[in-house]
Structure 1
């Protein structure tokens, strides 16, 4: 069963009249992780934003986004807001951008959980404390009383994973969640994503340019270049027998760059 179907997605800049994503189609099967890989500017992040309709005002899209049989492109913005977070969760590249800089992070959790579940402040805190401990964040109450700028990038990403655990969405979209982190934090956050999948049993879209991470976490992969899907298939087939010249280039260069990271992931030196 497909959890998500994207059919003939086109995305363009209405100001410049420039097409950014050209006729993309793909499926996300229930309980699997689909990676989207490619270099910067290939359209990976825009594809994710198209699924949950979170574009800047001048970015337009057409095509079908079907989530569990429902056409998301036909929903009102109000109905779409109900789907975001609770049914389709998104973990951004920059954890800092996900939080209001003028409030402590605990306020963000309280407001989010009240909107989706109607929980009181104490109910939200109890559930977040448990989830934060499960992603190895010590002293949860202390952390909830801190502002985003007082926390590291790795901690902010783990906070987003903890919130996702509480919300239990059907699909988690992770848009380059390890890019801004140092190697050790990357290792810890990737491990948390692997555990997130195991605990929730849900579906995931994992966007990255790091093929070492992708190889560790994903079942299937899409390769994007300049807004076009140039290759797709299982991790094994795409990484061991890439057909497209661009995929061959990516695999040969990116896996080499990832070798140090892979050694750390596998407990080497």
Structure 2
């Protein structure tokens, strides 16, 4: 059963008339993880923002986005706001952009939970503290009293994951969640995303250029290039039986980098 059906999605810039995404159609199965991969500018992130109806003011979109059979494109902005966070939760590439810089992060978290659940400040704080501890954030009360610039990128990503744990959305959209992080933080965030799926049984859309992460998390893969979907299939099919030359190039490049890394690490261990 599909929890999300994207049908004939087109996105274009009204100022230039330039197309960005062309007749894109795909499905997200209940409880599965769909990875969207491709080079920068292929249309991955803007597709995710279109699902959330958060595209830039200069962009327009057409097509249907069906969430549990309901067409999100026909909802008013007020109705869509109720869906964001509670049903569709987005973890952004840059954690800093998810929070208001002039307010402590706890204020944002409590406001979001009050909007969707009507909880008291005490109840929201209690639930957030528990969720933050579960994603390995120590001293959650102190963390919530800090401003975004006082926290690392990895901590901000884990705070967003903790918020998702409390919101329990139907779909989590993770847009390049590890790009701005160091290697150790990348590993921790990937582990937390896997744990999030296991705990909640939610569906997930993962945008990533890192095929190693895709292979570890995703069930199905969508390959985009220049605004077009050029190939889609299971993780196994994409990594071992890719049909399109561009997909084969992406997979072979990842394999070459991985082999080089292993070779370098092996030589260092011998020294």
> TM-score, with normalisation over the residues of structure 1?
0.96
Q: CA deviation at 1:260?
A: 7.8
CA distance in 1, matches of 2:126, 2:98: 21
Change in Cα spacing, 1:262 to 1:51, as seen in structure 2 (3 Å) is: farther
Q: CA deviation at 1:241?
A: 1.0
User: Which structure 2 residues correspond to residues 170-181 of structure 1 after superposition, within 5 A?
Assistant: 170-181=170-181
Change in Cα spacing, 1:262 to 1:126, as seen in structure 2 (3 Å) is: farther
Q: CA deviation at 1:254?
A: 2.4
**Contact persistence 1:13–1:58 (CA under 8 A):** yes
CA distance in 1, matches of 2:81, 2:190: 28
What does residue 13 of structure 1 align with?
13
**Contact persistence 1:135–1:158 (CA under 8 A):** yes
User: Which structure 2 residues correspond to residues 14-33 of structure 1 after superposition, within 5 A?
Assistant: 14-33=14-33
What does residue 185 of structure 1 align with?
185
2:96 maps to 1:96: yes
Residue by residue over 1:192-244, the C-alpha shift from the partner in whole angstroms, topping out at 9 and shown as x without a partner, is 00000000001000000000000000000000000000000000001101100
CA distance in 2, matches of 1:118, 1:8: 37
Moved more, 168-177 or 246-255: 246-255
What does residue 63 of structure 1 align with?
63
User: Which structure 2 residues correspond to residues 126-137 of structure 1 after superposition, within 5 A?
Assistant: 126-137=126-137
CA distance in 2, matches of 1:177, 1:146: 21
What does residue 200 of structure 1 align with?
200
Residue by residue over 1:159-201, the C-alpha shift from the partner in whole angstroms, topping out at 9 and shown as x without a partner, is 0000000000000000000000011100000000000000000
What does residue 252 of structure 2 align with?
252
Shift >4 Å, 4+ stretches: 258-263
Q: CA deviation at 1:56?
A: 1.1
What does residue 109 of structure 1 align with?
109
What does residue 266 of structure 1 align with?
none
Q: CA deviation at 1:259?
A: 5.7
CA distance in 2, matches of 1:242, 1:261: 23
2:142 maps to 1:142: yes
CA distance in 2, matches of 1:244, 1:173: 26
Aligned residues: 264
User: Which structure 2 residues correspond to residues 219-230 of structure 1 after superposition, within 5 A?
Assistant: 219-230=219-230
- The two structures, once aligned, show a CA RMSD in angstroms of 1.4
Residue by residue over 1:56-84, the C-alpha shift from the partner in whole angstroms, topping out at 9 and shown as x without a partner, is 11100000000001000000011000000
CA distance in 2, matches of 1:67, 1:156: 28
Q: Secondary structure at the match of 2:115?
A: helix
CA distance in 2, matches of 1:17, 1:174: 28
Residue by residue over 1:5-59, the C-alpha shift from the partner in whole angstroms, topping out at 9 and shown as x without a partner, is 0000000000000010000000000000000000100000001001010011110
Gaps in structure 1 of 5+ consecutive residues: 264-268
2:158 maps to 1:152: no
> TM-score, with normalisation over the residues of structure 2?
0.95
